[in-house]
Chain A
Amino acid sequence: MHTQYKKKSKLKSTWVRFKKNRLALFGLCMLIALILVAIFANFIVSYDTAITQVMADRLQTPNAQHIFGTDQLGRDMFARIIYGARTSLFVGLLTIIIALTFGSIIGAVAGYYGGKIDNVIMRFVDVLMAIPSMLLAISVVAALGTGLVNIVIAMSVSQIPRFARIVRSSILSIKGQEFIEAAKACGSSDARIIFKHIIPNAIGPIIVQATLAMGTMILTVSSLSFVGLGIEPPSPEWGSMLAEGKDKMRYFPHLVTIPGLAIITAVLSLNLMGDGLRDALDPRLKN
């Protein structure tokens, strides 16, 4: 009697494990819902509604016409939250993509070539990492000014070290393993080794970190906007909505509670996803 061992692809087995995690699935659903809202914002409510000030309607608590109420300048909160989703997700995604790209290249070069190149690059990365990300972002904003582009630059620079390190350590851990020597002994070329062995191993941790980092970025951009160093009004951004609303929050708490809950929803969904992915990819025995 021989036991048959079916070889599932790693992707499939990861998905199966992910599915079992109800919290992670919930996060995924929330995230998909948010993404859809962000993409199809125009179909839900017009951009005008988000920025048009109707002083007569101002400071309404949630009611039938304005589901989330209106702010101190009469703008519909619901519309602002919807378009704020677009801003937050867009900024978060863009930042991570940029950081990932540059970080991966830097980390790959450092890890692959090793030696002096590795040393120099990693010293630089370490110094960058020693600066708290909020501080670095504030400095860049101080230099370049506010606005979407500068914010993205500021935040991606602060995240580059993180991805550089992951990629570099993935490469180093594989470089040392014997099966690479075996592959080379069989005649595999460098490119083949990179694509067949290094990348599949590195992708998992990168995606997990990217997801979690995106959540952090949404928090960062809203923090920066809150203190006036981020996305400027009248652009609807959750953080700046909080800044604008805080003076009147005593009697109109919805101005502050609702944008906050929006931020929490977005970041929570990313965190749940990221955690779920991490557990699904590396199932250390939970028993």
Chain B
Amino acid sequence: MADKLLEIKDLSVEYHTDDGTVYAVNGLDLTVEKGQVLGLVGETGAGKTTMALSILRLLPERIGKITKGDIYLDGIDIVHCSEADMKLIRGNKASMIFQDPMTSLNPILTVGDQIAEVLELHNRDQSKEEIQKRVDEMLSLVGISPERKNDYPHQFSGGMKQRVVIAIALACTPELLLADEPTTALDVTIQDQVLHMMRELKEKLDSAMILITHDLGVVANNCDSVAIMYAGEIIEYGRVEDIFESENRHPYTVGLFNSIPDLTQKTKRLKPIEGLMPDPSNLPSGCTFHDRCPHCMEQCKTMKPLAVTSGTHMVRCHLFEKSGKDTVV
């Protein structure tokens, strides 16, 4: 059994705004092993970014709060450790790549300085020359000429900016990389390049990665395991084969796959999932998916489904609960 790097148990996160409370994450369980690439799939508003921010404790002050649950990163109790401890972890043991490269870089500092910053923060004993050497290394690694290290972010294209962000995130060889839709804001052709590069880097540095995306194609090409997130909880989890091929999948997952247009078949209309993602400040009772589910049963409206596990595959759905743990209908 591989080592567990990240363990999230029953995590709940709320946002307290003027307009009310938003229940972004509700009882989330997740595990990531060392060196594993986990794809986290879900629509906008499912709570994926919130979960990632919670791991680094970067939720907006005063508004975002972890109300329940535990997060263990390599044994460290993230929820309860001190801020000083967290600062040692951020950028070092675990780092994050954000969604929008256009706004993630400080416009008035050179890219070289911004990469150097994360190195200086976690390598206080190193000399300036050593740090600069490493900056050059990282830039080359992400495919940018080190001569450009004194340029400013606005002098780079979107794809190049994202590479800089990746360089910053990987500079201190973190054990866990949180990539929040790293290619969504980029052209499709650049997407491919960047993901390819990330795969290579991951191999080289042996980091574990949580790749947040809404694109199942990206998952297929890059991930070992997949977790499906809906309304703040993980409703399905397994290896890529389980999620893509198993017959016993959560109706939401089935719906996601069905809504992908198929180039080989002649169809007139797309098949989206009926209805909308629920309002996180006003979640439905019972199973949060029940009002959109084609297989909704009476108990779904009032009772939360339990996690049913079969080998590497977990589903939270009343459909599969019938005969107990290992037998799945």
Contact = CB atoms under 8 A, between A and B. Distances in A.
Physical interaction between A and B = yes
Interface of A: 1-3, 285-287
B18 A3 contact: no
Interface in B46-62: 60, 62
16 contacts: A1-B275, A1-B278, A1-B284, A1-B291, A2-B275, A2-B276, A3-B276, A3-B279, A3-B282, A285-B17, A286-B18, A287-B17, A287-B18, A287-B60, A287-B62, A287-B63
A237 B131 CA distance: 69
Contacts of A2: 275-276
Contacts of B275: 1-2
Nearest to A1: B291
Main DSSP-derived SS at the B contact region: loop
A285 B60 CA distance: 13
A22 to B, nearest CB: 15
Contacts of A285: 17
Contacts of A286: 18
A37 to B, nearest CB: 36
B197 to A, nearest CB: 35
Interface in B277-306: 278-279, 282, 284, 291
Contacts of A3: 276, 279, 282
A282 B60 CA distance: 22
A17 to B, nearest CB: 10
B18 to A, nearest CB: 7
Contacts of B63: 287
A2 B278 CA distance: 9
A3 B60 CA distance: 27
B292 to A, nearest CB: 9
Given A1-B275, A1-B278, A287-B63, 5 more contacts: A1-B284, A2-B276, A3-B282, A287-B18, A287-B60
A287 B61 CA distance: 9
A6 to B, nearest CB: 14
Nearest to A287: B63
Nearest to A286: B18
Contacts of A1: 275, 278, 284, 291
Interface string B258-283: 00000000000000000110110010
A48 B18 CA distance: 54
A287 B60 CA distance: 9
B274 to A, nearest CB: 11
A128 B196 CA distance: 57
Nearest to B278: A1
Nearest to A20: B18
Contacts of B18: 286-287
Interface in B1-30: 17-18
Q: Which 5 A-B pairs have the closest CB atoms?
A: A1-B291, A287-B63, A3-B279, A287-B17, A1-B284
Contacts of B17: 285, 287
A62 B83 CA distance: 60
A87 B89 CA distance: 66
A3 B20 CA distance: 16
Nearest to B291: A1
B62 to A, nearest CB: 7
B289 to A, nearest CB: 12
